[in-house]
Amino acid sequence: MGDRTKPAVLTILGSTAIGKTRIAIEIAESSGGEIVSCDSRQVFKHLDIGTAKPTAEERDRAVFHLIDFLEPTRFMNAHEFRELADDAIADVLKRGKTPILTVGTGLYLKAMTDGIFEAPPADDEFRDEMKTLADREGAEHLWDRLNKVDPIAAADIGKRDIVRTVRALELYHLTGLTKKELMDRNQLPPLQYEFRMYELTFDRDSLYARIDTRCEQMIEDGLIEEAENLRSGKILSDDMAYKIVGYNEVYRYLDGEFNKEEMIDKFQQATRNYAKRQLTWFRNNTDAMEVDASNVLASETIIGAFTE
């Protein structure tokens, strides 16, 4: 049941397109709560259609926190998000309202519920040097280098996983400590809330059909034009865009890599794959009460369980 001595946070887990925003708004309207978004993409300004941000009408119905505030020049890490979420939740509680945490990004949730270690910031010069070395000598050469200084970290990383290998090498380069030593020294504890979790479920075939329809709707709503404006205004770099589902496929379409029909198909497939990863993460990393998102009484079910 959790630790009832801590302030409670109503926590809704769910994949993309499953209905988190709709249900969270219904709960907020019924309970006087405020929504704290836990989504690594909706934090960005200007990326509206492709990240399925709440519409203006939806924002009129409920108060949202941690959306639409960060320029899309870099990704936010889990440690940074954890601090912002802590502040937002504390603010909602201080005003006597219920925080409704809507979770699409599991890593951010884990940083709040399990704690996280505070790592040094990136060293772009070192990263570029390592990537150049990988291009010249191969990914396994980098892994061998890591294995000599931090065999425990290396054992947890695939020999061809350049990104994670470079990060582990970077940590050692910056601190002279292995990743485990850093974690032991700089581990931040879990946030002091009781996260009461409710996972939205949906028939898998029906969810995938919803995803396909939503991707098509995003194109009709102007996702291509949004991406064109982001690119022409240098608001969203190609490097960043290629890391975000939706913008990746549209940018590649604009590059002439494939036609519009192929782009939509790839967009839909990438989004289905993303949803599958989310569902797998929630299943493996949380112990949440399951709630059928297709049930019209889903929000009432969650409210009833939360207030028991």
74 part of a folded domain: yes
- Residue 213: give the domain boundaries: 8-115+189-306
- Specify if 3 maps to a domain: no
98 and 194 share a domain?
yes
CATH number at 144 reads: 1.10.20.140
- In this prediction, residue 207 carries a pLDDT of 98
Helices (H), 118-222: 124-137, 139-149, 151-155, 162-175, 179-186, 204-221
Kindly give the parts of the chain with pLDDT less than 50: 1
Same domain membership, residue 144 and residue 62: no
Domain boundary among 188, 208, 225: 188
Contact, 288 vs 282, CB < 8 A? yes
Domain stops at, among 159, 188, 217: 188
Claim to verify: residue 211 and residue 70 sit in the same structural domain: yes
In a domain, 1, yes or no: no
Same domain for 60 and 209:
yes
**pLDDT given for residue 2 in this prediction:** 58
Which of 188, 221, 238 corresponds to the end of one domain? Answer: 188
pLDDT of residue 232: 95
In this structure, are 129 and 201 located in the same domain?
no
Residue 5 pLDDT:
86
CB 118 within 8 A of CB 185: no
- Domain total of the chain: 2
d(CA 293, CA 269): 22
Asked whether residue 161 is domain-assigned, the answer is yes
Rounded to whole angstroms, the Cα distance separating 117 from 201 reads 31
Look at residue 3 in the predicted model and tell me its pLDDT.
Answer: 66
Residues 44 and 160 in one domain: no
**pLDDT of 10-67, one tens digit each?**
999 999 999 999 999 999 999 999 999 999 999 999 999 999 999 999 999 999 999 9
pLDDT for position 202:
96
Pairing state between β 116-117 and 187-188: antiparallel
Q: What confidence score (pLDDT) does residue 77 get?
A: 86
- Same domain flag for 63 and 165: no
Q: What is the pLDDT of residue 258?
A: 95
